[in-house]
Amino acid sequence: MKITKFFMCLMAAGAFLSACQEEKNPLDVFEAPVSPYADAKVLDPVTKDISVRFDQKYRTVSFTLAELGVTPAADAVFYAPHDENTDWCGEDWYSAEYGFYMTGDGKACQRSSEGAKMFVEYYPESQTIAVGQIPDACVVGETYTLEFGFATKTEKQPVKFNVFIKEQLPWATSLQHPDGLTYTVYEEVNTDYLALEIPINEDAVKEALGLQTLRPLLNAMQSDTAYDTTMRGVNADGSYDTYAKYTANVAGYWFNQDGNICEWKDEGWGAFIEWDRQSPMVFRLGQAQANNVVGSRYDMKIALIHEGKEVILTFKLKIVAEVTDDLGLL
C-alpha cells in the first residue's frame, strides 16, 4: 500500500479544515472553503458481519456494491470517518492506494498510526469494496470495525463492517487419492525451500510390492547411502532418471514443469520431492527459489522397486494463491 498525500475535511458547521502532508511530516493546516458534505443528510447505515482468515500478505476479500445493497450517485465520493467531527473524503484524502487504512474501531488513519489494523478500498470500475489486514496488526479471535461510505452534497450513505478474524489456514495441504499411491498437493508460492510433509499409505505400497513389511525395502535403500536402484525418479515419458544420483537432498529429486527429472538450478527447475528412507514413510515436497507463480503445475513420479516389482508414487502439485477448505483432487 502506498501512502501518498491526504486531506481532512471538518464536518463542523460552517467550515472545514483541509490539510496535506507526507506521512513523516507535520500536518500543515490552512483555511479552506466550507465542506460540500457538511450538511448532507446521513442515511441509515448498511451493516454487514463478515469473517476473514488471518492474513499477513495484504490479501483482500471483496464485496460488490450490489451485494451490499448500495448504489452510489454518479457524483458520490468514497469517504471514511477520522473522528467524531472529521471525515476523510474522496481520492485526494486516501491514506491507502484506493481507500483508507483503519483503526480497529473503524476510524480512518495512516498505515503507521497507532491502532491501525486493516484497510478498506473502493474500485469504481468493478463497483467493489475490498478489505484487508495490515501484517502483524490483527489477532485471531478479535473483531474489528470498518466504517466508510459514499457522500454527495445532499446525502451520505454509511457502511459498517464488523470483521471477525478467523484462524489462518496452512500454506500447503495434501489429499490422498483412492488408490493410496497418488497425492494431490496444493501450495502457496514459497521461495525458502519450506517443504510439506506428506504421509504415504504404506499399506498400498506393501500390497503393490507384495511385502508384509517395508523393512526389506528400507534395508535395500540404506545399503547404499549415495544412490541406489530401489528408488528412482520417473520422467514424464515413464523412463527412469539418467543421473545415477539423487538430484535433491537425502533420497530425492528435482523436477521441472514438464514432469522431468532435473538438477538444482537447471533451466525450468521448480519443485522437489524427498524421502528420508525411514518408516513411517513421509515424503517432503517443496519449491524452488524461482519459476513458480499461481497456477504452476507439476506431476512428479517416484518409483519404488524391490525384487523385480515396482510401485509408482505420483505427486500432483499445483501452486495456488490461497489454500482453502474446498480444494479437491487434481
DSSP string, 211-248: -SSSHHHHHHHHT-SS--SSEEEE-TTSPBPSSSS-SS
Let me know whether 159 and 231 are in one domain.
no
Let me know whether 245 and 271 are in one domain.
yes
State the pLDDT at residue 10.
Answer: 37
Domain count, the chain: 2
Backbone φ and ψ of 34, nearest 5°: -60, 140
Cβ atoms within 10 Å of 294's Cβ, excluding its own: 11
State the pLDDT at residue 46.
Answer: 97
* Residue pLDDT, tens place only, 222-272: 765 545 568 899 999 999 988 878 899 878 999 999 999 999 989 889 999
Let me know whether 13 and 162 are in one domain.
yes
Let me know whether 34 and 180 are in one domain.
no
**Would you give the DSSP letter of residue 33?**
P
* Residue pLDDT, tens place only, 2-30: 443 333 443 433 333 333 333 433 334 43
State the pLDDT at residue 25.
Answer: 33
Which domain-ending residue is among 112, 131, 166? 166
The verdict on residue 328 lying in a domain is no
Range of 287's domain? 172-319
Cα(317)–Cα(298) distance, integer angstroms? 5
What is this structure's pTM? 0.58
- Tell me which residues of the chain have a pLDDT lower than 50: 1-33, 226
The verdict on residue 3 lying in a domain is no
Which domain-ending residue is among 166, 183, 217? 166
Cα dihedral 59, 64, 67, 68 in deg (nearest 10): 90
Let me know whether 195 and 301 are in one domain.
yes
Let me know whether 15 and 54 are in one domain.
yes
Rg (CA), the chain: 28
C-alpha cell, 170: 496452512
Cα(159)–Cα(82) distance, integer angstroms? 14
In three-state secondary structure terms, 330 is coil
